[in-house]
Amino acid sequence: MGHGRQDEQRGKIYLAWAEVPRSGGHAFYDRLQQILRKSGFDAFAEKP
């Protein structure tokens, strides 16, 4: 049917992860991250 022709015209798309657009984030989560880092939450949460 015409599938062969479409496949010939279709090229491959490669996109590096660094080229993917990202949002600026959210102020609430940015501030929460600052607070958690300052308080040492990661070390507390990772204790056995």
For the segment 12-45, what is each residue's pLDDT rounded down to a tens digit?
788 898 888 888 889 999 999 999 999 999 999 9
Alpha helix segments (H runs only) across the chain: 3-9, 27-39, 41-46
Please give the Cα distance from 21 to 23 (Å, whole number): 7
More confident residue, 26 or 6: 26
